[in-house]
Amino acid sequence: MNYIYLTQDILEKIKTYREKFPLKEQAIIPSLHEILEKYRDIPEKALEELSDYLSVPLADIEGIVSFYDMFRYKKNARNHIRICRNLPCHLAKYHNILEMIKEKTGADVGKNSPDGKWYIELVECIGSCGIAPAFLINNDLYDGSKIKTDEDLKKILDKYE
């Protein structure tokens, strides 16, 4: 198969995920993040290419894309923060992280910050319940339980300024 969406840079990253995880299915989610990062969307054809490259059924990949909100992407600010609100993250008090992020960025759920730098979205499980409350900034995953102070959060946000 000739790949159009899986460009060389994406393929190299997918290859590292494939080598990192014992099961090829475990490479699906990080690979989808790479596609999302590049195209700001998940093109249908890219799913076929990913299915071919990883040798996993297309239906399995489509199932993941339709299950996780994070793959229904709508980036409208420079940085997209996705905070998980499902039960394990709820029990781990994701709303504390949300409030801190809102205060620091000036953005709100579903709304850009006035400076256009930040957009916050509450999403369903992002497959990282082991580090609840989990959140993503663009493609980077964070363990919210490690953020205890405003300064901890500032250090993270500063990386995206």
Residues near ligand FES (CB under 6 A) are 84, 86, 88-89, 125-126, 128-129, 132, 134
CB of 122 to ligand FES, least distance (A): 11
Q: Which is nearer to ligand FES, 46 or 100 (CB)?
A: 100
- CA-to-CA distance for 50 and 6, rounded, in angstroms? 7
Mention every residue, 6+ apart, whose C-beta is less than 8 A from residue 98: 83, 109, 120, 122
**Residue 126 vs 153, nearer CB to ligand FES:** 126
Residue closer to ligand FES, measured from CB, 98 or 132: 132
Q: How far is CA 119 from CA 10, 50, 56, 113, 115, in A?
A: 25, 28, 33, 6, 10
Residue with tokens 């006035």: 114
Q: How far is the CB of 87 from ligand FES (least distance, A)?
A: 6
- Considering the complex, what minimum distance in angstroms separates the CB of residue 32 from ligand FES? 15
C-alpha separations of 77 from 34, 121, 160 in Å: 18, 11, 12
Measured distance CA(135)–CA(14) in Å, rounded: 22
Q: Least separation, in Å, of the C-beta of 91 and ligand FES?
A: 9
Which residue's CB is nearer to ligand FES, number 10 or number 84? 84
Distance between CA 58 and CA 51 in Å, rounded?
A: 5
- Min. distance of Cβ 109 from ligand FES in angstroms? 16
Residue number with CB closer to ligand FES (76 or 139): 139
